[in-house]
């Protein structure tokens, strides 16, 4: 069984560790099986490609590599600061994410 992750596609996150430490970006994809995420403009790598229909010239392409979710922290939309995430039930009894710093729902 896979555990519930604190980050979802479309969230804005900040990198807390590694070569890209301090960079902010939007989550493009979450890979639940390996607990990794691909973040826009973060952890860039160069990939050598053969010529194809999309890129007839071929060459070296820069693209985002995945980064472990433990190295990412969600940015609170209301304050703009990095925050830890908690889960609690709201008035309708639905489980929602909330910011531990401001206490507001995300």
> Tens digits of per-residue pLDDT, 23-52?
999 999 999 999 999 999 999 999 999 999
Percentage of the chain exceeding pLDDT 70: 98
Q: Is the pLDDT of residue 1 over 70?
A: no
Model pLDDT, residue 75 = 96
Domains and CATH numbers, the chain: 12-75 (2.30.30.30)
Distance CA 73, CA 99 (A): 11
Secondary structure (DSSP) of 12-81? EEEE-SSTTTT-EEEEEEEETTTTEEEETTSSEEEEEE---SS-TT-EEEEEEPPEEGGGEEEEPTTT-S
Pairing of strands 59-64, 67-68: unpaired
């Amino acid at each position: 069984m896979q555990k519930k992750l604190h980050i979802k596609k479309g969230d804005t996150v900040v990198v807390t560790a590694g070569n890209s430490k301090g960079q902010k970006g939007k989550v493009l994809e979450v890979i639940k099986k390996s607990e990794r995420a691909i973040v826009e403009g973060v952890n860039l790598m160069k990939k050598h490609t053969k010529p194809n229909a999309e890129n007839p010239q071929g060459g070296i392409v820069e693209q985002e590599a995945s980064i472990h979710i433990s190295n990412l922290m969600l940015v609170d939309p209301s304050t703009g600061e990095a925050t830890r995430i908690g889960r609690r039930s709201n008035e309708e009894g639905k489980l929602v994410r909330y910011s531990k710093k401001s206490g507001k729902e995300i």
